[in-house]
């Protein structure tokens, strides 16, 4: 059974996020016929160490990233990188859609995280997070390269990911504000 209070809070939270989407810069590039690079950026009124702290609390990400259902650290065979399993979930045209990826992350604190899919539902998925600081503000940049399988319409994936990246950045900015006002 769905708790109406929780459902109303989630709807209000998503409405708050959507109201701030115009503050996100987004660019989409067609790399090849079915391959896209999507880059988004947002300004956050906190130093990058604060943003880094939220961004690298990997297992807490599903608590505030709207489309992220699971984010779990896995043991990495080489031990020096971070390995994450993430599952995103969407409802598209009244159909539930989910995608799973296992990512290897290379952290360069506190300015960059590169990631690459080692297993998952795409032909390729990689990218980076970049944190650029100026005057106690952080420009957070999130760039992904995605190559969906033939069963996923690339134009639909492109539109959905563009919206999701924007929502993710707004959610991260809100979370940084909450965590660092406590």
- What pLDDT sits at residue 15? 66
pLDDT of residue 13: 56
d(CA 124, CA 135): 36
pLDDT bracket for residue 181 (50, 70, 90)? confident
Average pLDDT, the chain: 89
Least confident of 27-31, 32-36, 94-98: 94-98
CB atoms within 10 A of CB 40: 24
Q: How far is CA 35 from the centre of its chain?
A: 18
pLDDT at 9 over 50: no
Question: Into which CATH architecture does domain 4-56+106-179 fall?
Answer: 2-Layer Sandwich (3.30)
Rg (CA), the chain: 16
Residue 44 has pLDDT above 90, yes or no: yes
For 50-71, what is each residue's pLDDT tens digit? 999 999 999 999 999 998 999 9
Is pLDDT above 90 for 177? yes
The region of weakest confidence among 4-8, 72-76, 111-115 is 4-8
Share of the chain above pLDDT 90, in %: 69
**How many Cα atoms occupy the beta-carbon half-sphere of 53 within 13 Å?**
11
Average pLDDT of the residues in 108-124: 97
pLDDT band at 129 (very low <50, low <70, confident <90, very high): very high
Residue pair 179/58 in contact by the 8 Å Cβ criterion: no
In this prediction, residue 3 carries a pLDDT of 33
Give the bridge partners for 129, in sequence order.
113, 142
Nearest-angstrom CA–CA distance, 141 and 132: 8
Two tokens, residue 117: 């899919």
How many C-beta neighbours within 10 Å does residue 98 have? Answer: 12
Q: What's the pTM value of the predicted model, to 2 decimals?
A: 0.87
pLDDT exceeds 80 at position 1 = no
> Locate tokens 């399988």: which residue?
149
Residue 4 has pLDDT above 60, yes or no: no
Q: Which helix (H) or strand (E) holds 105?
A: strand 95-108
DSSP H helical ranges for the chain: 4-19, 48-55, 154-179
The predicted-structure confidence for 138-174, as pLDDT tens digits, reads as follows: 999 999 999 999 888 888 888 889 999 999 999 999 9
- 156 is written with which tokens? 């639909």
Counting runs of H as helices and runs of E as strands, what totals does the chain give? 3, 8
């Amino acid at each position: 059974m769905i708790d109406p209070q929780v459902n109303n809070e989630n709807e209000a939270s998503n409405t708050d996020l959507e109201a701030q989407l115009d503050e996100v810069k987004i660019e989409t590039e067609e790399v090849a016929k079915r391959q896209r690079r999507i880059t988004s950026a947002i300004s956050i009124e906190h130093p990058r160490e604060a943003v880094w702290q939220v961004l690298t609390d990997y297992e807490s990400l599903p608590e505030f990233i709207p489309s992220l259902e699971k984010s779990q650290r896995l043991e990495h065979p080489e031990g020096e990188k971070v390995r994450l399993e993430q599952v995103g979930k969407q409802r598209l045209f009244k159909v539930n859609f989910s995608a799973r990826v296992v990512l290897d992350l290379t952290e360069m604190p506190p300015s960059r995280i590169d990631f690459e899919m080692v297993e998952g539902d795409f032909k390729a998925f990689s990218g980076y997070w970049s944190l650029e600081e100026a005057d106690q503000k952080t420009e957070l940049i999130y760039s992904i390269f995605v190559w969906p399988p033939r069963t996923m319409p690339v134009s639909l994936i492109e539109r959905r990911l563009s919206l999701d990246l924007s929502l993710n950045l707004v959610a991260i900015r809100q979370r940084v504000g909450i965590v660092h006002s406590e």
